[in-house]
Chain A
Amino acid sequence: MKKFIRQTAVLPGFGLALGYTVFYLSLIVLLPLSAVIIKTASLSWETFWAAVTAPRVLASYRITFGAAFLSALTNGVFGLLTAWVLVRYRLPGKRIIDALVDLPFALPTAVAGITLAAIYAPNGWIGRYLEPQGLKVAYTPLGIIVAMTFIGLPFVVRTVQPIIEDLEGELEEAAACLGATRWQTFRRVILPVLLPALLTGFALAFARAVGEYGSIIFIAGNMPMVSEITPLLIITKLEQYDYAGATAIATVMLGTAFLVLFFINLLQWWSRRYAEK
């Protein structure tokens, strides 16, 4: 193998570049991450199981994963709409709107957190109109969904947008010529092409929402069993010097994150195969 590379590569620096990449990756990412796995392995199964299935922990999974699912669903619908409108329709200030979509990437989570909490608080810009309707957003699970929707917003738009840009107009023309209504064309021709990207965006938004901390804790209210997210529970355990408990819960979250990552890779493989057909 080595000989093969030496014979074909004209460019210098392969060994150095790859060597440094692997070294830096191991030092900064792999070594520290392995600390979680080794720490978990040192726990007995009973301790681990008790830590990850305590009622308060189970309630936090329900809240975190449930809210993340609902927010990713919201983003799936509105992200698809946003990408569609940005690519297909003429509207003034499109460039600025397009740039603004990335705001949740660029705005630090703590800033997003206090701002959303201020807006949706009972005396806030939106909260004061929702409160009389009996709709409480800040300091309830609904607030968690709002914060997760905010931070997940760019993922769906940015994964679906390039696919819409590349859509071949001929397919839609053919469908229209064959007598399809616009809705039939969308459902039968456009949506199947967009589906892998849409699901990837959904999964990315979901994964980000599950791990999110900064933008949620200010608006969540953080009531145990009601509005306490799993990342906050890890911090609480750490503050009580319960490193074993914190690590056990972290392992569950890491496992979920890797599952989602695997799912995304599968989707991309699927969409590549779809594109080749």
Chain B
Amino acid sequence: MKSWETTGGGKKKSPPKGLTEPAAVRWALTCTVLLFLGFFLLLPLAAVFSQAMEKGMAAYLAAVREPEAVAAIRLTLVTAAISVPLNLFFGVAAAWAIAKFDFPGKSLLLTLIDLPFSVSPVISGLIFVLLFGLQGWLGPWLASRDIQILFAVPGIVLATIFVTFPFVARELIPLMQSQGKEEEEAAIVLGAGGFATFFRVTLPNIKWGLLYGVILCNARAMGEFGAVSVVSGHIRGATNTIPLHVEILYNEYNYAAAFAVASLLALLALVTLAVKSFAEWRGRTG
């Protein structure tokens, strides 16, 4: 209870003058914010689905079931299925080392883990071109052995791993730091093994944060465009992920199909937001 509610004369519930904005200002601010969010968030979201359905349900299903779209969906799923578990494992290892132990150079390590966030997606793609391209470091060696990384699936997976690298670690580190290490130490002292301690003590404490990190990591892995676009080579049916397929359809003026395929990613975004809100709510209520 706010203090003014107990000291007030009992006439009004609202706080006294000077502690909150006048009603007119509150009303104006709320309307401004709703209008801004409506234009910038709600309208685009509505537009994706409305444009996707413009030519009817049959056209929508046809666009989504087309062989090239199916191949793009499959490649996107494969990419996420490889990159998310790898970054999940890394995230847990990094969070364990950083949150449960003290060592010199910790803040430098934290900064380095965040690095992929501050690198433009295009540059994230460029670095793999520099590494594996024909003019690159490993390019000639790979070419002489007929190993294709760039403009093929491995390049797409690598670029995706780079871009989604920090997501799980970044979610877990502050969470595990705030929880301290007393519970784990108690388990160890009572004779539990390292893995038993992790799975029985740590994991139940961090599961909602972990879920949140994984779902964000997955959303980015499936939706990454810039980095993947640089390394993919845009070979239809072979190295196109869903976002790249959307781009091709859009550039061919096949708008209804482009938005139909894009709506799959928009649905994924909505599911991500729903799971995120749920995980946050569970994380708070325990």
| A residues lining the B interface (CB < 8 Å) | 1, 5, 9-14, 16-18, 20-22, 24-25, 28-30, 32-33, 35-36, 39, 78, 81-82, 84-86, 88-89, 91, 95, 97-116, 118-119, 125-126, 149-150, 153, 169, 172-173, 175-176, 180-182, 185, 207, 210-214, 218, 231-232, 234-235, 238, 241, 243, 246-247, 250, 253-254, 257-258, 260-261, 265
Contact = CB atoms under 8 A, between A and B. Distances in A.
Contacts of B43: 119, 125-126
Given A100-B37, A119-B43, A235-B229, A111 B127 contact: no
Contacts of B136: 35
A101 B41 contact: yes
A35 B127 CA distance: 6
Interface in B12-34: 16-22, 25-26, 29-30, 32-34
Contacts of A12: 188, 194, 197
A153 B277 contact: no
Given A110-B247, A213-B226, A261 B111 contact: yes
Given A35-B127, A250-B126, A105 B216 contact: yes
A218 B123 contact: no
Given A108-B269, A109-B225, A253-B123, 9 more contacts: A5-B101, A14-B100, A25-B112, A36-B123, A85-B29, A107-B45, A108-B265, A108-B268, A247-B130
Interface residues of B, number: 104
A275 to B, nearest CB: 16
B209 interface: no
A182 B29 contact: no
Contacts of A181: 18
Given A106-B272, A114-B259, A18 B103 contact: yes
Contact of A231 (B20, B120, B269): B120
Nearest to B48: A115
A75 B76 CA distance: 32
Interface in B95-131: 96-98, 100-104, 109, 111-116, 118-123, 126-131
B44 A112 contact: yes
Contact of A234 (B116, B123, B128): B123
A172 B19 contact: yes
B126 A234 contact: yes
A126 B243 CA distance: 24
A11 B262 contact: no
Given A207-B118, A235-B122, A261-B118, A9 B101 contact: yes
7 contacts: A20-B90, A88-B20, A108-B242, A111-B48, A115-B51, A182-B20, A211-B119
A99 B133 contact: no
A185 B25 CA distance: 15
A8 to B, nearest CB: 8
A169 B102 CA distance: 36
A73 to B, nearest CB: 14
A260 B114 CA distance: 13
B184 interface: yes
B170 interface: no
Contact of B118 (A153, A185, A258): A258
B225 A110 contact: yes
A108 B243 contact: yes
Contacts of A16: 93
Interface of B: 2-4, 16-22, 25-26, 29-30, 32-34, 36-37, 39-45, 47-48, 51, 90, 93-94, 96-98, 100-104, 109, 111-116, 118-123, 126-131, 133, 135-137, 158, 161-162, 165, 181, 184-185, 188-189, 194, 197-198, 216, 219, 222-226, 229-230, 242-244, 246-247, 250, 255, 258-259, 262, 265-266, 268-270, 272-274, 276-277
B163 to A, nearest CB: 10
Contacts of A98: 277
Given A36-B126, A88-B20, A103-B269, A211 B121 contact: yes
A109 B103 CA distance: 38
A173 B115 CA distance: 42
Nearest to A109: B225
Contacts of A35: 127, 130-131, 136-137
Contacts of A25: 90, 94, 109, 112-113
Contact of A254 (B44, B102, B119, B184): B119
A115 B101 contact: no
B100 A11 contact: yes
A108 B222 contact: yes
Given A32-B127, A32-B162, A18 B101 contact: yes
Contact of A213 (B30, B104, B225): B225
B90 A21 contact: yes
A153 B223 contact: no
B47 A14 contact: no
B121 A214 contact: yes
A82 B36 contact: yes
A273 to B, nearest CB: 16
B223 A33 contact: no
A111 B220 CA distance: 12
Given A32-B162, A108-B269, A238-B230, A176 B16 contact: yes
